[in-house]
Structures are given as C-alpha cells and as structure tokens.
C-alpha cells in the first residue's frame, strides 16, 4: 500500500507565494482517488480518536465510496470506537423512503453505517417522506445547532459546482431547504438509478450557510468529469452561480483533487500543488 506525504513543507519562496494567494493554500493534488481515500480516512480516524463525540457532516456520491471503504477497513482493524459520534448527512431525495434502495439513507447504510458500531440514534439524514418538508427542513437545521454544529464536513461537488444539492443560484445565506434539481444534476445522478427508476425531481439539502458554518471542510473531487468545474472554480470570483466558490471564504477548508480532476488547472500550479506518493 502506498502512503502519501506532503511534498510541500514549503520552500520559503513558495510559502510567500501561497500566503499571497490564499486560494492556493486550499488545493492539494493527489495521484489518484485511492491516495485521497487514504488521506481522508486517516484524517477521519485521527479526528474521531481525538474527539470521540465529534459531529461529522457526511456526503454521498461516487466520490465518497472509496473513502468510506478505506475508512471502514482501517476503523475495523484499529477497533475504532465510533459510538459517540454524531453525523448529519447533507441531503436526501424527496419522495424516497429511508428503506428505498436509491435513497441516500440506503447509500449510507451500504457504504458506512452497517459496517461499524455507530449509535443509530445519532445518525441524522433528512427524511424524504416528511409530510411537511419545509417544517422538516427547519427542524433539521435546529437539530444541527442543538448538536453544536458540524466539526468536520465532507463534501463532493457536482459537475455544475453544487455542494449538497445547492444548485447554481442558491443564496449563500440559505439554510436547510427543499430544492428542485437541475436537469444536469438529474442526468449526472441517473447512473445510480439504473433500469426504469427515475431520478427524483427534488431533494432536501443542508443550506449553504450551514455548510459554511462547519468548523472545518474537506471537499473531494476526482475524475476528469470534475476537471472543467475545478478550472472554473479556480478562475472565478466567489459567486452564487458556482456554489462551491463560496469555500474561498472559509478559513479551514481543504480541496483534495486527483490528477484527473486537476488536469485543466494551469500547469505550473499543478506542479506546485502535487502531493507525492511515497
């Protein structure tokens, strides 16, 4: 198994260069998705060991699958106690029950929850079948606050720059809410709905303001399908048209890319941000 080390204990001139462009401090480029899974799973294990009652913000999607798989492997091997942690998932499809095989609740069970000794009463996801969705969204926000807010938020990113299901144009001050999914997002996510199943038209998502209130954020983007949006993110001002540009305003965020997702960033930049495989 390859381990990864940061090549960067930076040279003085690089430290100077980076300090004058804080956006660069956020970006880290790894050889591949496996190297990112290694890094993120180690981070999770360290954080949970230091603070067993940590509040995690959890994401779904193909990007997170290798991360959860590696985390489960290592947590089992180390007999990590996860029973005191609390988690809040970013989002859930409206109209899918927790038992529906395509719900994010089922995704979380399959990839993470069923493998370790979590306390099920501390694992929160929005309820896609809530009778009053607006009220449920408010209650989800309130619950997050009552639990002290998110310590560490994991994020993937949609090809249009959405985080959670906050589609382009979502106000940065939004709280947990119901969203109509864009055609692009429904098309991208249709790969998880094989057969005749139709991607739901709406979802409940944590809002932009709640994501930004997380004390620390790790956003992961892997594969060439994310290369264009990453190049746009890099070149763009902070704008609601590209939701995850707001992360440029967060004090403790890391954006972890594999080489494919970083492939459209300027060449010299890629070189300087590379995390070496050891």
Q: How far is the CB of 228 from ligand GLP (least distance, A)?
A: 13
Contact between 58 and ligand GLP per CB under 6 A: no
Provide the angle, in degrees to the nearest 10, between the axes of the packed helices 104-111 and 65-78: 40
Looking at 28, 162, 177, 250, which residue is catalytic? 162
Looking at 38, 127, 151, 167, which residue is catalytic? 167
Catalytic annotation present for 167: yes
18 or 233: whose CB is closer to ligand GLP? 233
10 Å CB burial of residue 152 (0-12, 13-18, 19+) is buried
Say how far apart CA 16 and CA 127 lie, in whole Å.
47
Contact between 242 and ligand GLP per CB under 6 A: no
The 177-180 sheet, strands edge to edge: 91-93, 202-205, 177-180
Catalytic annotation present for 173: no
Contact between 258 and ligand GLP per CB under 6 A: no
Contact between 189 and ligand GLP per CB under 6 A: yes
Contact between 243 and ligand GLP per CB under 6 A: no
Q: Cα torsion for 261, 267, 268, 271, to the nearest 10°?
A: 50
Q: Which residues pair with 258 in a beta bridge?
A: 30
10 Å CB burial of residue 122 (0-12, 13-18, 19+) is middle
80 or 246: whose CB is closer to ligand GLP? 246
Q: How far is the CB of 224 from ligand GLP (least distance, A)?
A: 12
- From candidates 35, 54, 86, 91, binder to ligand GLP by CB under 6 A: 91
Contact between 263 and ligand GLP per CB under 6 A: no
Q: How far is the CB of 65 from ligand GLP (least distance, A)?
A: 8
Catalytic annotation present for 134: no
Catalytic annotation present for 216: no
Contact between 63 and ligand GLP per CB under 6 A: yes
| Interface of this chain with ligand GLP, residues 144 to 173, rule: CB under 6 A | 156-158, 164-165
Q: CA nearest 259: which of 276, 241, 240, 238?
A: 276
Q: Note the residues at the interface with ligand GLP (CB under 6 A).
A: 59-63, 90-91, 156-158, 164-165, 185, 189
What are the catalytic residues?
A: 91, 160, 162, 167
């Amino acid at each position: 198994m390859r381990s990864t080390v940061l090549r960067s204990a930076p040279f003085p001139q690089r430290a100077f260069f980076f300090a004058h462009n804080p956006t660069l401090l956020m970006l880290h480029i790894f050889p591949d998705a496996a190297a990112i899974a290694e890094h993120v799973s180690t981070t999770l294990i360290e954080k949970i060991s230091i603070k067993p009652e940590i509040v995690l913000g959890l994401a779904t999607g193909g990007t997170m699958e290798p991360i959860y798989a590696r985390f489960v492997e290592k947590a089992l091997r180390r007999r990590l106690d996860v029973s005191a942690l609390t988690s809040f998932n970013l989002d859930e499809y409206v109209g899918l029950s927790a038992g529906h095989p395509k719900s994010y609740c089922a995704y979380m069970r399959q990839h993470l929850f069923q493998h370790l000794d979590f306390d099920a009463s501390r694992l929160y996801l929005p309820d896609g079948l809530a009778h009053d969705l607006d009220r449920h969204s408010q209650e989800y926000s309130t619950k997050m606050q009552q639990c002290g807010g998110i310590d560490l938020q994991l994020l993937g990113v949609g090809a249009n720059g959405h985080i959670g299901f906050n589609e382009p144009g979502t106000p940065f001050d939004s709280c947990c809410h119901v969203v109509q999914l864009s055609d692009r997002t429904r098309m991208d996510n249709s790969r998880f709905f094989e057969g005749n199943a139709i991607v739901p038209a709406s979802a409940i998502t944590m809002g932009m303001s709640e994501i930004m209130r997380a004390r620390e954020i790790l956003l992961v983007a892997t594969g060439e399908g994310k290369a264009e949006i990453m190049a746009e993110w890099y070149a763009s001002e902070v704008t609601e048209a590209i939701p995850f540009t707001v992360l440029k305003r967060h004090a403790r965020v890391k954006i972890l890319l594999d080489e494919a997702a970083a492939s459209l960033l300027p060449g010299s930049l890629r070189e300087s941000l590379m995390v070496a495989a050891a």
